[in-house]
Amino acid sequence: MNSKYIKIGAVAVIVILLAAGVMLFAGNTDDKKIEKVGTVLDNGAKCGLVIPTYVATELNISSISDLEQYASEFNNTIIGIDAGAGIMSMTEKAIEDYNLNSFTLQTSSESSMLAALIDAYESHEIIVVTLWTPHWIGGEYNLTYLEDPDYAYGTAESIESWSRPGLSANDPVLAEIMSNYEYNLSEFNSLLSYIANNNDKDIQTAAGEWVEAHPDLLSKWIGSVEYQEGRGTIKIGLVDWACAMGSSNALKYVLETYAGYDVTLMSLNVGVMYEGLSNGEIDLITTAWVPLTHAQYMEKYA
């Protein structure tokens, strides 16, 4: 055989191997794609940097770009939440975009951030925190979002429900409820406030009471679904954020009481939650913040 044929043969083998590799790769990523199953809140969500309103008045500041000059008054610290939360990477970006060179972002948790905010507020101290809407705290304290002219926190965020690959195709009843499971901003805030104001009860009880007090919303969510015993087990993943606990607990109540599912809530770190959804260990989440907050996870899994 002359070398020309050997070369053609070798090229053909490489082409076949490449094609097989591409098909395998495409097959794999297809398997892993998580799926959008509903919109929990359309466009009303927001992330940002928040200060008590008395701080805005006394320092005469209104924008993130005003922070750097008062860095020492703020103890050079922005109080953040858990590592991996979208608002943490948005805040790292804000620190760069607005040249907040004297600030560090403190990793914490939602509950520690809120405790620090409430403490500072009650002693009229200067503080800046990462915060978002919907949240019950906005109804309890006089707080101000710093303006974000460079859109480090995006423009309009939505909250969506996402499932593991293939869930809705196999469960049209669940798919129907999930596509109906939507709030407007005042309904969502009302749920979160009800839970926060009833913290002597467990969250599941409070969420159930709130759902029962909103029969029109409940019947919209249920749609044509009728209760049927033993519809199966659903695992809902969530992070310990008040908004995720509210929407997940209300959904658990609805799925168990009005459809006949058995629901387990799994509290996780945000990265683990998306990973679990993509590998099928978790069935559902109701706390996908898009387009910007969870962009890093959507790029990887969606």
By beta-carbon proximity to ligand PBE, the closer residue of 187 and 209 is: 187
Please report how many Cα atoms fall inside a 13 Å half-sphere around the Cα of residue 65, on the Cβ side: 7
**Candidate ranges 138-146, 182-190, 248-256, 286-294; the one touching ligand PBE (CB under 6 A):** 286-294
47 near ligand PBE, rule: CB under 6 A: yes
Pairwise CA distance, residues 208 & 222, whole Å: 14
Nearer to ligand PBE, 105 or 225 (CB): 105
Q: Is 100 in the site for ligand PBE (CB under 6 A)?
A: no
86 makes contact with ligand PBE (CB under 6 A): yes
x-or-dash string of contact with ligand PBE, 233-262, rule CB under 6 A = --------x-x-------------------
Task: Restricting to residues 120-159, name those near ligand PBE by CB under 6 A.
Answer: 132
| Binding of residue 289 to ligand PBE (CB under 6 A) | yes
Query: Among the candidate windows 3-11, 173-181, 221-229, 287-295, which touches ligand PBE by CB under 6 A?
Result: 287-295
Q: What is the DSSP letter of 284?
A: E
Residue 28 CB, nearest approach to ligand PBE (Å):
27
Residue 81 in contact with ligand PBE, rule: CB under 6 A: yes
Task: Look at the block and give the residue holding tokens 């969870």.
Answer: 294
CA dihedral 248, 251, 255, 256 (to 10 degrees): 70
Closer Cβ to ligand PBE, 261 or 297, answer by number = 297
Handedness of CA 233, 41, 244, 139 (dihedral sign): negative
Tell me how far, at minimum, the Cβ of 241 lies from ligand PBE, in Å.
4
Q: How many residues does the chain have?
A: 302
Site for ligand PBE contains 48 (CB under 6 A): no
Q: Residues with Cβ < 8 Å from 257, sequence gap 6 or more?
A: 208, 227
From 80, 293, 301, 302, residue interacting with ligand PBE (rule: CB under 6 A): 293
Q: Which of 80, 94, 41 has the alpha carbon at shortest distance from 290?
A: 41
DSSP assignment of 104-162, as one string?
EEEP--HHHHHHHHHHHHHTT----EEEEES-GGGGTS-EEEPB-TT-TT-S-EEEEEE
Instruction: Region of 149 please: left (phi>0), alpha (psi -120 to 50) or beta.
Output: alpha
Closest CB to ligand PBE among residues 225, 270: 270
Binding site for ligand PBE (CB under 6 A): 47, 81, 85-87, 132, 241, 243, 270, 287, 289, 293
